[in-house]
Every structure is written in structure tokens, then in C-alpha cells.
């Protein structure tokens, strides 16, 4: 937690891999809220993180331009795609910030789900 406060004070970028591995989901959500709150984040500090926790997708915290999925193909190459990129697709024309991203993600619409290749 000290590092988060330090970065907020300095206005730097904080990158955390698998942020959800060692903290409670409610604390995870609160950290994101702090970074998005201009009263706390007065220097526009940016938080970049990876997670396997899909709970954050239904918490009404993140906007569709702030969420990306990573998909690994059969050639072991990874592609990153923001959810907002799907807006141009015919089937996602009505996607909004109020859309239940978690539900769509778990249904496989945004890819990134680790289906085993057989």
C-alpha cells in the first residue's frame, strides 16, 4: 500500500502484474477507485495492471476503453484488444460503459478465455 501512495504523490505510472493475487477483491476495487478519483489522484497517476479476477468487470468501476483482453493463439502469439475496439463490430454495436462486461467476457465474446486447444 505504501508504494501506491508513493506513486500517487509522485504522479508516475504504476504497473502491477496479477494485482489480485494477494489482496481481497474489495481492496482491489478500492485501489482502482482511488486512481480514478481526482481528489486522490491529483497528478493523473496511471495504474496499469493484469488480473485473472473477472469480478472487477461487473463492478461499474472500469469504462470500456479501460479494459483489454489478451488472447494467445495456437502459434503462442498474444494479441491485446480493448473492449472498446469491439464497438465497431456488428454484434457489439450497442456496447456501452453500463454493459455487463463480465457476462460477455465469460460467454467468450471478447476472447481471452483460456480454452484448451485439443
Give pLDDT, residue 90.
60
- The string of pLDDT tens digits covering residues 33-80 is 999 999 999 999 999 999 888 888 876 788 888 888 888 777 878 888
Mean pLDDT, rounded, of the chain: 83
Q: What confidence tier does 117 reach under pLDDT thresholds 50, 70, 90?
A: low
How far is the C-alpha of 28 from the C-alpha of 19, rounded, in Å? 7
Domain boundaries, the chain: 1-62, 67-109
- Over 50: is that where the pLDDT of 118 sits? no
Torsion of CA 55, 61, 63, 67, to 10 degrees: -40
Q: Give me the pLDDT at residue 91, please.
A: 64
The pTM is what?
A: 0.77
Q: Inform me whether the pLDDT recorded for 116 exceeds 60.
A: no
Asked if residue 53 lies in contact with residue 84, where contact means CB atoms within 8 angstroms, the answer is no
Q: Label residue 15 by pLDDT band (50, 70, 90).
A: very high
Amino acid at each position: 500500500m505504501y508504494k501506491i501512495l508513493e506513486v500517487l504523490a509522485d504522479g508516475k505510472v504504476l504497473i502491477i502484474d496479477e494485482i489480485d493475487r494477494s489482496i481481497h477483491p474489495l481492496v482491489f476495487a478500492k485501489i482502482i477507485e482511488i486512481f480514478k478519483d481526482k481528489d486522490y489522484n491529483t497528478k493523473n497517476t496511471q495504474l496499469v495492471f493484469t488480473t485473472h479476477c473477472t469480478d472487477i468487470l461487473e463492478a461499474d468501476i472500469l469504462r470500456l476503453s479501460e479494459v483489454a483482453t489478451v488472447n494467445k493463439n495456437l502459434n503462442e502469439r498474444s494479441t491485446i484488444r480493448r473492449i472498446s475496439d469491439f464497438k465497431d463490430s456488428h454484434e457489439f454495436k450497442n456496447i456501452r460503459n453500463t454493459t455487463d462486461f463480465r457476462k460477455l467476457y465469460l460467454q467468450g465474446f471478447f476472447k481471452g478465455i483460456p480454452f484448451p486447444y485439443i
